[in-house]
Amino acid sequence: MRRSTGLVAAIVVLGIVVAVGLISESQHILTLTIQTMILAALASSWNILGGFAGQISLGHAAFFGIGALVTRELWLGGTALALAIAAAVAITAVAAAIVGVPILRFREIYFAIGTLALGVAVFITAGNLWPGISSLPAEALRNYEFTGPYFVALGVLVAAVVVSLWLKHSKVGLGMMTVRDDEEAAKATGVNAFAHKMIAFVVSASLAALAGSAFAYFSASYFPNFAFSVIWTFEAILVVFIGGLGTIVGPLLGSVFFIVGRDVLPANIGEFQVVLFGLLFMVVVLLLPGGLTEAATRLVTTTGRPSTKTTSDEPTATKGKEPT
């Protein structure tokens, strides 16, 4: 897709989303859209670490959770929302930097399992320290307005997309992708692999915290450890892959598809909707590594030439601009 088409499309979509937020009276639609935006933001954040830098983290929910926790505690305690969110992101970034030093030395599968272990440990700890439910006070519930949370979620998503876009076309981002494709080769050409991974890690964590903040602001009530649950990590990964790993639009497409599929499929199907998602996920991973984005692009292109990617599922970095 050419750059300008993409831009026009993005503006149109943004316009629609904004309009919905201002006009819609349907709680259902507003809720679903907010949830989609939060998931998309989280997925985009994961995509930076997993798609651009190639580090598969299975503990991403930890950052989402910290962001949510700090925002919720501060905000319900009386702090201004903006300040609470800023604090949440800052704290998470610092935590990520500290944790990143040891954990980024792990490679590949060790990194995956290590982050998983970390994520689970944080989840258990959060549940132990904050077992009680966090609910908005009754007055706030009765006077609840969706507009605030809606636009905060939108803002968060826009931030995530903008950061992703900037990274993708920046030298830093290029460095990340080089590391992703072959860490040893990257190091040999003078790229500081560790620094690039760290940047990806911290940026990704910060955006995840931002998404968590949006979640905290939106939710009427939930258990604090829920935001740390491995479910969020899995959903983000699922969404990124279905949408298209390493692309900008992938996480967005994937989230829409996921939420629509999950919450709009009738209850009758019940467990089978999970089965369908699982199957679809497997189909995508096996047959269409580029996800829906690739499918869409292929359908749009009339040539339908076979892909040059045979086995690798990651987009190979090219010098210069990548099509989104």
Partner 1 sequence: MRHRVLLVVLTVLAMVLAACGSEGDGADTTQPDETPTTATAGETTTTSDEATATTGEPTEVPESVKIGAVVPLTGAFAGGGAQIERGYIYAVDAINEAGGVFVEEFDTELPLELDVRDDASDPNQTTSIMDELAGGDIVAYLGGFATPVHAAGSATAERNGIPYLGAATSTQALHEQGYEYFFSPFPKSPDMAVTVFEMLNGLIPEGERPLRVGIFQEATDWGEELGPLWVQEAENHGYEVVYHETYAPGTTDYTDLILGAQAAEVEALLSLPTPPDGFAIYQQMGELGWKPPFNLVVRAADVPTWNDLGQAGEGVVLSTPWHPALGYPGTEAVNERHLEELERPADPVVGSAYALIEILADAIERAGTLEHDAVRDAIAATDGLSTIIGPITFREDGTAAVPNPQMQRIGGAIELIWPADAATTDLTYPAP
Partner 2 sequence: MTQLILQSVVSGVLVGGMYGLVALGLALAFGVLKVLDVAHGELLMLGGYASFFAFTFWGLDPFVSMPLVFVAMFGFGVVLYLVLFRYVTRTEVHTRIKNSLLISFGLVLVLQALAVRFFTADERTISTAYSLEALTIGPVRVPVVRLAGFVVAVVAALALEWLLFRTSFGRALRATSEDWTRAALTGVDVRRIYLIAFALSAALAAIAGSLVSLGYSISPSVGLGWTLKALIVVVLAGLGSMRGIIVAGIFLGLVESLASVWLGGQYREVVALMLFLVILSFRPHGFYGRAHA
Binding site for partner 1 (CB under 8 A): 26-28, 31-32, 35, 124, 127-128, 131-133, 135-139, 141-142, 144, 219-223, 226, 231, 257, 260-261, 263-271, 276, 279-280, 283-284, 287-288, 292, 294-295, 298-299, 304, 306-307
AA identity, residue 249: V
Q: Which is nearer to partner 1, 102 or 131 (CB)?
A: 131
Contact call for residue 295 and partner 2 (CB under 8 A): no
x/- site string to partner 2, residues 76 to 105, per CB under 8 A?
A: --------------------------xx-x
- State yes or no: residue 292 binds partner 2 (CB under 8 A): no
**Stretch of residues binding partner 2 (CB under 8 A), selected from 27-35, 147-155, 168-176, 233-241:** 233-241
The correct pick among 237, 248, 288, 317 for binding partner 2 (CB under 8 A) is 237
CB closer to partner 2 out of 138 and 267:
267
> What long-range pairs does 261-267 form, CB within 8 A, spacing at least 24?
263/32, 263/35
* Residues in region 182-221 near partner 2 by CB under 8 A: none
How large is the angle between the packed helices 147-168 and 193-218, nearest 10 degrees? Answer: 170
Give the nearest distance from C-beta 106 to partner 2 in angstroms: 7
Query: Could you tell me the two tokens for 49?
Result: 């670490």
CB burial string 198-223: b at 16+ within 10 A, e below: bbbbbbbbbbbbbbbbbbbbbbeebe
Using CB under 8 A, which of the segments 154-162, 203-211, 212-220, 269-277 binds partner 2?
Answer: 269-277
Size of the residue set binding partner 2 (CB under 8 A): 42
Q: Shortest gap between Cβ of 156 and partner 2 (angstroms)? A: 26
Which CB atom, from 32 or from 198, has the smaller least distance to partner 1?
Answer: 32
Identify which of residues 203 and 292 has a Cβ nearer to partner 1 in the complex.
292
Contact with partner 2 (CB under 8 A) among 4, 311, 319, 321 = 311
The binder of 166, among partner 1, partner 2, none, by C-beta within 5 to 8 A per type, is none
Contact residues toward partner 2 (CB under 8 A) are 56, 102-103, 105-110, 112-114, 116-118, 120-121, 124-125, 128, 230, 234, 237-238, 241, 270-272, 274-275, 277-282, 285-286, 311-314
